[in-house]
A = this chain, B = another copy of it.
C-alpha cells in the first residue's frame, strides 16, 4: 500500500520520536510539530496509516502507536553502470539497468556494478564478462583492491598500497611487478567488494 507525501512525513516523524523518546507522541504533539490546528487531521492520518499496515495502535489508549516494521524485502538491486577494461577509460552506459546482487556481496556504502571486458585482469582472477561489485569512494586503505583511473584515462584494478608519498599498485599475482604512481595522478573510483561470474 503506497503512502502519500503527508502520510510518509508523519510516519517518519513517528519513527524518530519513538526512537528518541521510547514512547509514542500524543495526537496534539504530532499536530504541533506539523503546525496543524486540528487533532482530527492527525487522527485521520493515523487511521489511514493503520489501515495501510504501517502502524498499530490500541483504541482509546494514550500514546499507544507502534511501528510495524516492513520486511522491506531487502532490495538488492544495484545499478550496472558500464564496463571496464584495463588500460581504457571506464565506459558508462546512459540508462544503467538495475541487477540483483546477493546481500552478502554488498557493503553498507554506495554500491555499483561494472562488467569486465577482456582478459587483461586475468592475473587478478578476473575474467572477461565478470561482474564486479564496487563500493563508490575516493579513498582506500592499504591492501584494498581499487578501481582507479591513472591520469584520468587508464582504468586499472589492483591492490593499493601507499608508501613514501607515492602509491604502489600491486597485482594479485605475486610474480607480476607492481606499478608505482604519484598520488595526484591517481583517481580512485571505488573499492572492489565482490564479483559474480556466469559460465
Contact = CB atoms under 8 A, between A and B. Distances in A.
A64 B2 contact: yes
Contact of A5 (B63, B122, B145, B196): B63
Contacts of A192: 199
B4 A62 contact: yes
Interface of A: 2-5, 7-8, 12, 15, 21-24, 58, 61-66, 72-77, 95, 98-105, 122, 125-127, 144-145, 191-199
Given A75-B76, A193-B198, A21 B8 contact: yes
A194 B198 CA distance: 4
A195 B196 contact: yes
Name the residue in A62, A75, A76, A103 with the highest tally of chain B Cβ atoms < 10 Å from its Cβ. A75
Contacts of A195: 195-197, 199
A82 B196 CA distance: 19
Contact of A125 (B66, B76, B122): B122
20 contacts: A2-B23, A2-B66, A3-B63, A4-B23, A4-B62, A5-B63, A7-B23, A75-B100, A99-B104, A100-B102, A105-B196, A105-B198, A122-B125, A125-B125, A125-B197, A191-B199, A194-B197, A194-B198, A195-B196, A196-B196
Contacts of A72: 99-100
Contact of A95 (B7, B8, B125): B8
A104 B95 contact: no
Contact of A196 (B7, B191, B194): B194
A198 B111 CA distance: 13
Name the residue in A7, A64, A192, A199 with the highest tally of chain B Cβ atoms < 10 Å from its Cβ. A199
